[in-house]
Amino acid sequence: MDKMTQKLSSARQASMMSAAEVLLACMVTAIAYLTLFGIDEKFWNVMILALIVPWIICFPANLYGTTQRQRLMEVADKLKASHHRLQQDNKDLQRRANIDGHTGLINREHFLALFNERCKQSANNVLLIVDADHFKSINDSYGHPVGDKALTLISSVLKKVMRKNDLVGRIGGEEFGVLLPDTCEAEGEVIAEMVRHEIAGIMFEPRAGVYHRLTVSIGIAGVPPSKERALSMRNADSALFEAKRRGRNRCVLYSPGMREKPRPFYEANHMQNTFALRA
Domain ranges in the chain?
Answer: 2-98, 108-268
Burial pattern 72-84, b for ≥16 Cβ within 10 A else e, equals: eeeeeeeeeeeee
Bridge partners of 179, per DSSP, are 127, 167
Bridge partners of 210, per DSSP, are 207
Q: CA 196 to CA 206: how far, in whole Å?
A: 20
Angle between helices 2-36 and 43-98 (to 10 degrees): 140
Q: In this structure, which amino acid lies at residue 46?
A: V
Q: CA 34 to CA 249: how far, in whole Å?
A: 107
| C-alpha angle 245-153-254 in degrees, rounded to nearest 5 | 30
Mean pLDDT of the chain: 84
Name which residue leads in pLDDT, 182 or 82.
Answer: 182
Residue 272 confidence class, pLDDT cut points 50, 70, 90? very low
The answer to whether 252 touches 218, Cβ cutoff 8 Å, is yes
Q: CA 258 to CA 261: how far, in whole Å?
A: 9
The answer to whether 240 touches 218, Cβ cutoff 8 Å, is yes
Q: In this structure, which amino acid lies at residue 51?
A: L
Query: What's the whole-model pTM score?
Result: 0.64
Contacts of 59 (CB under 8 A, 6+ apart): 14, 15, 18
**Model pLDDT, residue 194:** 96
Q: In this structure, which amino acid lies at residue 80?
A: K
C-alpha pair distances (Å), 249 with each of 88, 137, 149, 198: 43, 16, 19, 12
Angle between helices 108-121 and 229-245 (to 10 degrees): 110
Q: CA 212 to CA 204: how far, in whole Å?
A: 6
Percent of the chain past pLDDT 70, that is, above it, reads 87
Report helix, strand or coil for 168.
Answer: strand
Q: CA 118 to CA 127: how far, in whole Å?
A: 12
Pick the CATH number of 108-268 from 1.10.3720.10, 3.20.20.10, 3.40.50.300, 3.30.70.270: 3.30.70.270
User: What pLDDT, in 10s, does the model give residues 125-160?
Assistant: 999 999 999 999 999 999 999 999 999 999 999 999
Active site residues: 174
Checking if the pLDDT of 265 tops 60, the result is: no
Checking if the pLDDT of 14 tops 90, the result is: no
Name which residue leads in pLDDT, 244 or 71.
Answer: 244
Q: CA 98 to CA 96: how far, in whole Å?
A: 5
Q: CA 85 to CA 93: how far, in whole Å?
A: 12
